[in-house]
């Protein structure tokens, strides 16, 4: 089970990823991940399947990656109609392991970081 402290620790390890406006992380002005409580309409949409607790929204590289995450682990990754057509997934923090969270944040960062910065990061790994 992951926490906001885990998100902050992972985010702090990524080049130029900064926390802004509370629980949001951006690189080069682009959102990478952020707290995203479910709205009343989404709670109705999800019904009994609506998770409780803190929810992270994260950018993914493309809609194919989103669909793969949703299909591979629907207990961890989910979406709502609000995000249809957008390459973003929702994750209840109490359902994701810290290693999975780290992979998600790194991929989110790679999808938003400037190409030079992403290339330097990957070469240094």
Going by their DSSP bridges, the two strands 17-20 and 55-59 should be labelled as unpaired
Domain span at 94: 4-118
Instruction: Yes or no: say if 15 and 28 are a contact pair by the CB < 8 Å rule.
Output: no
**pTM for the model:** 0.94
| pLDDT for the residue numbered 72 | 96
Q: Is residue 123 part of a domain?
A: no
* Overall domain count for the chain: 1
Where residue 9 sits, what CATH number does that domain have? 3.90.1150.30
Q: Is residue 124 part of a domain?
A: no
| pLDDT for the residue numbered 74 | 95
Regions of the chain where pLDDT drops below 70: none
pLDDT (tens digit per residue) in 39-59 = 999 999 999 999 999 999 999
Helix (H) or strand (E) holding 122: helix 115-124
Q: Is residue 125 part of a domain?
A: no
Closest CA to 11 of 78, 92, 2: 2
pLDDT (tens digit per residue) in 54-72 = 999 999 999 999 999 999 9
């Amino acid at each position: 089970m992951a926490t906001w402290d885990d998100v902050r620790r992972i985010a702090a390890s990524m080049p130029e990823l900064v926390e802004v406006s509370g629980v949001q992380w951006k690189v080069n002005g682009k959102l990478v991940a952020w707290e995203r409580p479910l709205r009343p309409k989404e709670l109705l949409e999800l019904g009994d399947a609506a998770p409780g607790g803190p929810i992270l929204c994260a950018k993914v590289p493309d809609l194919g990656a989103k669909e793969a995450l949703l299909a591979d682990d629907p207990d961890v990754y989910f979406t709502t109609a609000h995000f249809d057509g957008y390459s973003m997934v929702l994750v209840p923090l109490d359902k994701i392991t810290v290693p999975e969270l780290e992979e998600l944040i790194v991929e989110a960062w790679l999808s938003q970081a400037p190409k030079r910065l992403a290339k330097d990061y990957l070469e240094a790994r």
